[in-house]
Amino acid sequence: MAVVGDFTPAEMTDTLADPDEFDFCGETFEIPATVGAFALLRYGSLMKGAIAQEKRAETASRKPSDESRRNARKEMAHAEITAQAAIYELLKACLGEGQLEQFGELADRSGVNLDGLMGVAAEIQEVIGGRPTRRSSELSDGQSTSGLSSTDGGSGRTETVDLTPREQMAAEILGASTSLVASPA
Report if residue 125 sits inside a domain: yes
Say yes or no to pLDDT of 64 above 90. Answer: no
pLDDT of residue 98: 83
| Percentage, residues of the chain above pLDDT 70 | 69
Range of the domain at 169: 34-129+164-185
Other residues' Cβ atoms within 10 Å of the Cβ of residue 127: 15
Determine, yes or no, domain membership for 135: no
Q: How many CB atoms sit inside 10 A of residue 33's CB?
A: 16
In a domain, 169, yes or no: yes
Q: Does 2 map to a domain?
A: no
pLDDT surpassing 50 at residue 157: no
Mean pLDDT of 55-68: 91
Q: Within a domain: residue 124?
A: yes
Domain assignment present for 157: no
- What's the DSSP call for residue 7? -
